[in-house]
A and B are shown apart, each in its own frame.
Chain A
Amino acid sequence: MLDLRVLEPCSLQSSLAACADSQVLGTAPPTFKLPAVADLDGFQKAAVQMVKPAKGTTTLAFVFKHGVIVAADSRASMGNYISSQTVKKILEINRYLLGTMAGGAADCQFWQRNLGTRCRLHELANKRRISVAGASKLLANTLYSYRGMGLSMGTMIAGWDESGPGLYYVDSEGGRVEGKRFSVGSGSTYAYGVLDTGFRFDMTVDEAVELARRAIYHATFRDGASGGVASVYYVGPQGFKKMSGDDVGELHYKYYPVPEATVEAEMEDVTTS
């Protein structure tokens, strides 16, 4: 279980090249041990049900005139239990690339961090930043090789590269689709309703941020597995910027304020002498 190759003396240049050079550099995919069981699928199903890895979410992203907007809620649920209301579901891969988290939290965190590493290595090897298409392809190819093993990820890779704004949807089935508007997660249908209704390509940045925030709010309102804080990021030519983070409970009263009820004048207490 313990990888002692890190102890190998670095002075042996050839030995470094021979023994898992790519492992040390981080370009080879990590190796995973599998349980020696006849029915792997059954084991995975039972293991997943037992450990209940955190999932449940609403995320969305869309391309508009000035760039890309990415938004998400922040709730993680383990079965019926809300394990966290403060999960970061928009992961900063690098200054120009954002990834979203939907499905298994550990899967998304691990593989998007791995993607960040590989993007950096690409920059070092090619002396230029990786494109959104390239980054999403790296992730999709990795996930394809684990297809059928029970990974659960529905992630969007959004960013700005030399050809302008880019948005791809990548999932754990190995699928990768380019698009202009996506919403992923248990609350995605609710978000689509609001997003599709209010979308105009030539919105201003502030209008786009408000649309995304509203869409996430409505999804958290109706979907039990979504909630917490609605975060909205904007990716433009200068890179990403977090535009807002609002508690959805407070957003509710901001969008639907409770009108003040008229109160009857109360009778003063009469003092008895």
Chain B
Amino acid sequence: MSMVFAPCLTETTAPTTHAQPAWSPYDNNGGTCVAIAGEDYCVIAADTRMSTGFSILIRNYSKIHQITEKSVLASSGFQADIRALQKNLDARHQIYQHQHNKQMSCPAMAQLLSNTLYYKRFFPYYAFNVLGGLDNEGRGCVYSYDAVGSYERSGYSSQGTGMQLIMPVLDNQLKSASPLVLPLQKSTTPLSEFEAVDLVKDTFASAAERDIYTGDAVEIVIINREGVRRELMDLKRD
């Protein structure tokens, strides 16, 4: 199954400067993802622009994927790797359902995603993921990942090209006491579901102003005890 990705360079002469590779297996399709965990809801959002270099490929591409009843994955980075990752997780979830006769919980899926990413430690998925959903007690949970699988549960997160624009705004609005501080304090936001969705819309509108890869529209998925619902808000298309 292995394919040759780079031409084999046989060194017949003394090596000179390091040549630029002719082909890279990776590309960055841009985009930003955000998730906010609430007391009994979780909001997951991502813009719908897919780019390559300075070109826009698609204006209405969904970066959000619902894996289980209670978990939703939003990923930015290289969409081909992300598609492969989503299919991998779907297949593993199907097997789990056949073996255990129930759906995977969000914390379980979070661990599975971490392991799946780490198994490609030496040829990583170029994917920056945010997993959002409801935990076993019905509380919102957000897990954010780096490309090789290190993960952490938090009250909110953003990943992608607009991450550095959006995260400070979320910190300003939502930051609460660290879960590592003793005595322990809650980490879900006190915002209501409506306020959280509003905040997400505002942050994306701002990110679209200053990040070339973020724009066109933002797709927002809200999970609560009633189920899953979607909203779509237009963003600047420039």
Contacts and interface: CB of A to CB of B under 8 A. Distances in A.
A53 B6 contact: no
A33 B181 contact: no
A101 to B, nearest CB: 9
Contacts of A244: 182
B9 A38 contact: yes
A219 B164 CA distance: 25
B225 interface: no
Contacts of A52: 146-147
Contacts of B123: 33-35, 47
A81 B146 CA distance: 12
Interface string A137-175: 000000000000111000000000000000000000000
B3 interface: yes
Contact of A7 (B95, B120, B146): B95
Interface in A193-232: 228-229, 231
* Chain A interface size range: 35 or more
* Chain B interface size range: 35 or more
A65 interface: no
A42 B6 CA distance: 12
Nearest to A231: B180
B23 to A, nearest CB: 11
Given A74-B178, A83-B146, A244-B182, A39 B4 contact: no
19 contacts: A2-B88, A2-B92, A7-B95, A32-B119, A33-B120, A35-B5, A37-B5, A38-B8, A50-B126, A52-B147, A88-B152, A88-B180, A110-B115, A149-B122, A228-B180, A229-B180, A243-B182, A244-B182, A246-B182
Interface of B: 2-9, 18, 25-26, 84, 88, 91-92, 95, 99, 114-115, 117-124, 126, 144, 146-152, 154, 163-164, 178-182
